[in-house]
Structure 1
Amino acid sequence: MSWNDYFEKIKNRPVRALLLNALKEVSNEMPKTAIELGSGPGVDTLHLLNYGWTVTAVEKESEGIKILKNNLTADQSSRLSVIESEFEKLTSLPTASLIYAALSLPFCKSEAFPEFWKVIEASFAKECVFAANFFGPEDEWVKNGHCTGHSESQIREMLKSFPIFKISEDKGMGKTAIGPDKFWHVYHIIAKR
């Protein structure tokens, strides 16, 4: 599977429920500044831009960035910053009220994740919402060494500065976007401070 094949398959998908649920936690007083980690073809970034957000989209694949930019108005372009980089190479991010990472964090190499997490932590505004998916240790891609996994206790420790913490967990066989079915173990996190 190539990332380009994946982007082509998902570029017309609906906005993810994780983002829609995270936006319900954003108060009117919070600045509308967001970071999407692993923006792909930009479906969710575009949704944020449509609702007046200023967004920093982080994506390592130039094809995903190209698809996103091809769908923007001039106004949306003026509120979008793009960082084309692997997570492992990031040394800083802007401060944001919403940090969003749907099914992307597990693709950071496990040995680099602790330093990458420090970069993410430094981007948290005093008041912010963090919404992300983490793969659990039973996920097939974690077990075969293709992705980084975290236990629920590890995730809670990383987000201990957030007094509001919502977590749900999915386990079971399910489809992938363009490959065979796999065993999924996914945590869906929304945290707010």
Structure 2
Amino acid sequence: MTSSTAERWRGYYEKAIQRSHHPLTEMAAQENRSGLNVAVDCGCGAGGDIQFLREQGYQVHGFDINVDSIEICRQRFEQDPLIDISQDSFEQFDYPTTGVLIANASLYFAEPTQFTRTWQRLTDAIEIGGVFAGGFMGVADDWATHSDHTITALSRLQVEALFDGFTILKFDERNQPGKTALGRHKHWHTFSVVARKIR
């Protein structure tokens, strides 16, 4: 990671720590029918979703590949034995069996060449009746072709095909100009999904 990229991430986390949890996370917690109060937050950032899930009575495992994120979350939650924070990647994280799995604004940073295997490991960890909530990057997004990071970008059909064995509870597509969290202009093309595992 270049120094300018690292600085942008630090700026992002400084803003993110002021934000509350993601609405998809709230929906996922409400829709969990697995009977398992365990959650995984993939790409946990500054920990807003972790905080919310703990308040709902979940044991939470959060991971992020960025050291700034991990430092923030470890300081924020160091007194809570039911929150486990680790510096890890989508490809290497050891997913526990979970009732809620969150991947808000993070899954598109998964390694494209390993995405099929990563998705399988991730969904295998969700208990029947458990819920996935997260986002995917579409092929028309500016970051799909111009990013400092390796990006996994998918078409709508590809995203829909991932959820064989799930009931889709929410599926939204955003394809429009906008701004990043740091105020930079970009074209967004993303899919937001909440889905319950049925088999």
- TM exceeding 0.5: yes
Instruction: Indicate the residue corresponding to 2:82 in structure 1.
Output: 79
**Does residue 34 of the first structure (1) align with residue 39 of the second (2)?**
yes
Instruction: Indicate the residue corresponding to 2:164 in structure 1.
Output: 160
1:50 corresponds to which letter in structure 2? E
d(CA) in 2 for partners of 1:94 and 1:103? Answer: 21
Give the conservation status (yes or no) of the 8 Å contact 2:139–2:155: yes
Q: TM-score of the superposition, structure 1-length normalised?
A: 0.90
Instruction: Indicate the residue corresponding to 1:89 in structure 2.
Output: 92
Report the alpha carbon displacement of residue 67 of structure 1 after superposing the two structures with TM. Answer: 1.2
Instruction: Indicate the residue corresponding to 1:9 in structure 2.
Output: 15
Report the alpha carbon displacement of residue 44 of structure 1 after superposing the two structures with TM. Answer: 0.8
Give the conservation status (yes or no) of the 8 Å contact 2:77–2:83: no
d(CA) in 2 for partners of 1:73 and 1:105? Answer: 26
Correspondence for 2:186 among 177, 182, 186: 182
1:43 corresponds to which letter in structure 2? G
Report the alpha carbon displacement of residue 65 of structure 1 after superposing the two structures with TM. Answer: 1.7
Change (3 A) 1:23 1:33: same
Report the alpha carbon displacement of residue 179 of structure 1 after superposing the two structures with TM. Answer: 5.0
Count of aligned residue pairs for this structure pair: 189
* Cα displacement string for residues 108-127 of structure 1 (whole angstroms, at most 9, x for unaligned residues): 12112122112202211122
d(CA) in 1 for partners of 2:161 and 2:95? Answer: 21
* Cα displacement string for residues 151-172 of structure 1 (whole angstroms, at most 9, x for unaligned residues): 2221221111013442011111
1:140-155 superposed matches below 5 A: 140-144=142-146, 146=149, 147-155=151-159
Higher mean displacement: 140-149 or 155-164? 140-149
Report the alpha carbon displacement of residue 73 of structure 1 after superposing the two structures with TM. Answer: 6.6
d(CA) in 1 for partners of 2:162 and 2:41? Answer: 18
SS of residue matched to 2:166 = coil
Instruction: Indicate the residue corresponding to 2:48 in structure 1.
Output: 43
d(CA) in 1 for partners of 2:91 and 2:131? Answer: 23
Give the conservation status (yes or no) of the 8 Å contact 2:73–2:85: no
Tell me, which stretches of 5 or more residues in structure 1 are unaligned?
Answer: none
* Cα displacement string for residues 137-158 of structure 1 (whole angstroms, at most 9, x for unaligned residues): 1111013364211122212211
d(CA) in 2 for partners of 1:185 and 1:50? Answer: 32
Tell me, which stretches of 5 or more residues in structure 2 are unaligned?
Answer: none
1:120-131 superposed matches below 5 A: 120-131=122-133
Give the conservation status (yes or no) of the 8 Å contact 2:70–2:86: no
Structure 1 segments of 4 or more deviating over 4 A? Answer: none
d(CA) in 2 for partners of 1:71 and 1:192? Answer: 30
d(CA) in 2 for partners of 1:43 and 1:65? Answer: 13
1:69 corresponds to which letter in structure 2? R
d(CA) in 1 for partners of 2:92 and 2:36? Answer: 27
Instruction: Indicate the residue corresponding to 1:55 in structure 2.
Output: 60
Report the alpha carbon displacement of residue 71 of structure 1 after superposing the two structures with TM. Answer: 2.2
SS of residue matched to 1:111 = helix
Q: TM-score of the superposition, structure 2-length normalised?
A: 0.87
Q: Percent identity at matched positions?
A: 28
